[in-house]
Amino acid sequence: MHLIREYINYIRKAQGRHQIHSPFVYNFVDSCLKTKIPQAFKNKTKQFTQRLSSSLTKVKTTDFGAGSKKMGEIRTISAIYKNASCKRTYAQLLYKLTNYYHPKSVLELGTNLGVGTFFLHEGNPNAKIVSVDGCIETQNIAKQNLTHDNLLFVQSKFEDFIKNLEPQKFDLIYIDGDHRGESLLKYLNMLGNYSHDDTIFVLDDIRWSKDMFEAWKTIIASKDFHLTLDLFKMGIIMKKSGKEKEHFIIKLKNVLTSL
């Protein structure tokens, strides 16, 4: 009921491209989201996802965050893919973001089976991607399927990883794990020194629970981020210091096509 109610509110408030007056956001909607997806990549995606969606191999999962609402500790890879992996429209978004903006350095908090990692990498194979997860068995599946030189997989709790992170700046940070509002706010605060003014933060499952949505509303109101985009399941935020504070609700499915 929470999601149904929120989706109705989202659709009611969502803005079309002609209602957007921010140059960055207009360009995001009119150019980034309309990036063409090559047929060769569609074929590669189909092979990659079919391998996961059909696998009955069982793995023992470790959840350090809120965890799945549907599954137990022992799960098949196909069940994990079905219930806990980024796919369809929002996976496309990850591809389009890295393909259009060409980030040189990407941080992903929450590897899972590596689906998000796959789309981030394929959008810009030259980007260095660091993907972090606390569950060694699911991350091992990602390692087996994604063996590119520019990918670094780290098995760690998010907070421990950030505390021990060497000084550097990421161009894009994708947070897809934990699913507790308090933790999301904590990670954003900790990552402040590892991002620059134009770092693109992508926050997954902002409506996963009332707790997560309350955190999202706190982020919208925060003085730390001057640009916030609501894409229903995901949120995009940027510091853009010195700019006028702006918030937009974008009808994502109106401008993306299915793979």
Q: Would you list the domain boundaries of the chain?
A: 2-254
pLDDT score recorded for residue 62:
79
Which fold, 2-254?
A: Rossmann fold (3.40.50)
Mean predicted lDDT score pLDDT of the chain: 89
* Helix or strand holding residue 38 (H, E): none
What string of DSSP letters covers 55-75? ---EEE---SSS--SS--SEE
> How much of the chain, in percent, has pLDDT values that exceed 70?
90
> What's the rounded Cα separation, in Å, for the pair 27 and 253?
17
- Residue 256 — pLDDT band, cuts 50, 70, 90? very low
- Residue 4 — pLDDT band, cuts 50, 70, 90? confident
What string of DSSP letters covers 92-131? HHHHHHHHHH--SEEEEE--TTSHHHHHHHHH-TTSEEEE
Provide the whole-model pTM: 0.90
Q: Which of 228, 233, 237, 226 is nearest to 199 (CA)?
A: 237
Per-residue pLDDT reduced to its tens digit, 62-99? 776 555 545 558 999 999 998 877 777 899 999 999 99
Per-residue pLDDT reduced to its tens digit, 25-34? 989 998 999 9
Q: Which residues pair with 231 in a beta bridge?
A: 234
- Residue 258 — pLDDT band, cuts 50, 70, 90? very low
Q: What is the mean pLDDT of residues 161-168?
A: 97
Q: Are 251 and 46 in contact (CB under 8 A)?
A: no
Please indicate whether residue 168 or residue 62 has the higher confidence score (pLDDT): 168
Which positions ≥6 away from 160 have C-beta within 8 Å? none
Q: Which residues pair with 23 in a beta bridge?
A: none
- Residue 14 — pLDDT band, cuts 50, 70, 90? confident
pLDDT score recorded for residue 255:
46
